[in-house]
């Protein structure tokens, strides 16, 4: 076991070393220290904040995915399974269509978050009702997802060509070139998510034993599930409002971690998932920019290309 963790640490260092070098332009190492050169500007103003962003987002996605897989007792859960992403996208695109505030502006992001909160409220009411077992909450979320997606496609088909020509990128998942400020916000968000979900990890483990047993072990099932739902939904709403739906990270990384490292506790799984998710997304992002320069693939394409086979491999080996 230890050997594999050391390998992971090593792989992460390699990723950190390689990714800042990946991109459309080749950098000249000697120029990096002169702030006026193109190489320096690309490295310090573009690539590093982006690296910081992708590390945080990747960690968050993997964490939330792992949490949902545990919470809903379903290994196929993605962070988007509850339909929060569709709600956010609907809010963002509605703001563009009806309020003339294009996607990416603070107004559109607020609309996205409002829509997400609306859905969260509905989910909580459902979860607290007698019908609301964890498995049913997922099904409810999936149905909400279908409904919202169709509304979304309707809204998109209503768009004139000039409005939000880049709207499709939200579906593939995209990463912007963030400012250092945005990058640091992302780090903050990542750390907060790690701390909060990490501290909930034992409660999650206890919940796996069933609601009645959980109560005898001091964990209130409905309240805990609802709190986790609200928190993760808020986090995911923020992520989606910022970068669309980046797929596969939340689905595959916790599975791979479980398979490779056989962690003894949920807390360990969460830490490993965070680290591996961070490395995975940064690598996918770096490759998306370096494969066919100067074209940059939407990062979701790379996460699917890399994550899909990885997932199949885990499924194969698990037999």
Partner 1 sequence: MGSVEEKMKPVMLKAVQLVVGFEKGSPLNQVPLNFSLPQKGLVALTGTNGSGKTTLLRSLLGEKTLLSGNWFWDGISIPVQKWSAGNLSKHIAYLPQEPLYESTQTVQDHWRLASKVRSFRFDLQNLASELGLSLNQRLGEMSSGQRQRAFLGRVLLQPCQLMILDEPTNHLDTELKQDIWRTLKQLSQGQLIWLATHDTENVTSYCDEMISLSSTI
Partner 2 sequence: MNELFEAAQYFMRLADHRQPSPLFEKAQRVWMQAQKEPLNFKYLALAWMDPPILFGRETFFVSLLNSLGAKGLFPLQWSTEFLKVSEEWLIAQTPERVIFLSHNDQSTQRFKQKCRQWWPKNTPPCQAVPADHFARASFTPVLNLQELSPNSESKP
Among 19, 42, 77, 284, the residue binding partner 2 under the rule CB under 8 A is: 42
Q: Does 216 contact partner 1 by CB under 8 A?
A: yes
Could you say which of partner 1, partner 2, none residue 220 binds, taking C-beta under 5 to 8 angstroms by partner kind? partner 1
Residues 222-261 touching partner 1, rule: CB under 8 A, are: 258
Instruction: Give the count of residues interacting with partner 1 (CB under 8 A).
Output: 22
Distance of CA 238 to the CA centre of its chain: 10
Among 17, 29, 30, 130, the residue binding partner 1 under the rule CB under 8 A is: 130
Q: Does 296 contact partner 2 by CB under 8 A?
A: yes
Burial 242-251 (b: 16+ CB within 10 A, else e): bbbbbbbbbb
Could you say which of partner 1, partner 2, none residue 36 binds, taking C-beta under 5 to 8 angstroms by partner kind? partner 2
Among 41, 73, 136, 267, the residue binding partner 2 under the rule CB under 8 A is: 41
Cβ neighbors of 309 (< 8 A, separation 6 or more) are none
Could you say which of partner 1, partner 2, none residue 202 binds, taking C-beta under 5 to 8 angstroms by partner kind? partner 1
Q: Which range touches partner 2 (CB under 8 A), out of 150-158, 196-204, 287-295, 301-309?
A: 287-295
Q: Does 217 contact partner 1 by CB under 8 A?
A: yes
Q: How far is the CB of 28 from partner 2 (least distance, A)?
A: 11
Q: How far is the CB of 231 from partner 1 (least distance, A)?
A: 19
| 176: preceding bond cis by omega (within 30 degrees) | no
Among 9, 106, 118, 165, the residue binding partner 2 under the rule CB under 8 A is: 165
Among 212, 295, 316, 317, the residue binding partner 2 under the rule CB under 8 A is: 295
Q: Does 173 contact partner 2 by CB under 8 A?
A: no
Q: Does 168 contact partner 2 by CB under 8 A?
A: no
Q: Does 166 contact partner 2 by CB under 8 A?
A: yes
DSSP string, the chain: -HHHHHHHHHHHHHHHHHGGG-SSSPPPGGGGG-TTSHHHIIIIIIIHHHHHHHHHHHHHHHHHHHHHHHHTT-TT--TTTTSHHHHHHHHHHHHHHHS---TTSHHHHHHHHHHHHHHHHHHHHHHHSTT--HHHHHHHHHHHHHHHHHHHHHHHHH--TTTTTTTTHHHH-------HHHHHHHHHHHHHHHHHHHHTHHHHHHHTT-HHHHHHTT--HHHHHHHHHHHHHHHHHHHHHHH----SHHHHHHHHHHHHH--SSHHHHHHHHHHHHHHHHHHHHHHHHHSSTT----HHHHHHHHHHHHHHHHHHHH-
DSSP string, 292-314: STT----HHHHHHHHHHHHHHHH
Q: How far is the CB of 207 from partner 1 (least distance, A)?
A: 10
Cα separations (Å) of 252 from 43, 128, 175, 235, 284?
A: 30, 29, 19, 19, 13
CB nearer to partner 1: give 132 or 286.
Answer: 132
Site map for partner 1, 170-209, x if CB under 8 A? --------------------------------x--xx-xx
CB nearer to partner 2: give 50 or 258.
Answer: 50
Instruction: Give the count of residues interacting with partner 2 (CB under 8 A).
Output: 20
Binding site for partner 2 (CB under 8 A): 23-25, 36, 38, 41-42, 46-47, 104, 162, 165-166, 169, 177, 289, 293-296
Binding site for partner 1 (CB under 8 A): 130, 202, 205-206, 208-221, 258, 262, 264-265
């Amino acid at each position: 076991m230890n050997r594999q963790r050391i390998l992971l640490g090593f792989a992460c260092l390699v990723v950190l070393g390689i990714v800042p070098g990946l991109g459309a332009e080749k950098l000249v190492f000697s120029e990096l220290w002169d702030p006026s050169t193109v190489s320096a500007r690309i490295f310090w103003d573009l690539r590093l904040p982006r690296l910081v962003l992708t590390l945080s987002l990747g960690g968050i996605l993997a964490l939330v995915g792992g949490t949902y897989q545990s919470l809903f007792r379903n290994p196929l859960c993605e962070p988007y399974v509850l339909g929060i992403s569709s709600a956010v996208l609907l809010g963002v695109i509605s703001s563009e269509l009806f309020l003339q505030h294009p996607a990416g502006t603070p107004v559109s992001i607020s609309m996205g978050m409002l829509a997400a909160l609306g859905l969260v409220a509905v989910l909580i009411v459902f979860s607290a009702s007698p019908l609301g077992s964890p498995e049913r909450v997922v099904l409810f979320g999936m149905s909400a997802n279908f409904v919202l997606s169709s509304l979304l496609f309707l809204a998109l088909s209503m768009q004139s060509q000039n409005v939000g020509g880049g709207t499709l990128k939200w579906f593939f998942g995209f990463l912007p070139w963030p400012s250092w400020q945005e990058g640091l916000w992302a780090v903050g968000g990542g750390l907060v998510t790690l701390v909060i979900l990490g501290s909930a990890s034992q409660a999650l483990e206890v919940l796996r034993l069933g609601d009645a047993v959980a109560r005898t072990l001091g964990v209130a099932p409905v309240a805990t599930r609802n709190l986790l739902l609200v928190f993760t939904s808020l986090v995911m709403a923020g992520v989606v409002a910022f970068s669309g739906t980046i797929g596969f990270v939340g689905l595959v990384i916790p599975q791979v971690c479980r398979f490779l490292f056989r962690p003894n506790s949920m807390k360990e799984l969460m830490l490993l998932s965070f680290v591996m998710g961070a490395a995975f997304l940064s690598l996918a992002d770096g490759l998306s920019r370096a494969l066919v320069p100067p074209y940059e693939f939407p990062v979701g394409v790379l996460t699917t290309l890399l994550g899909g086979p990885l997932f199949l491999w885990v499924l194969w080996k698990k037999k």
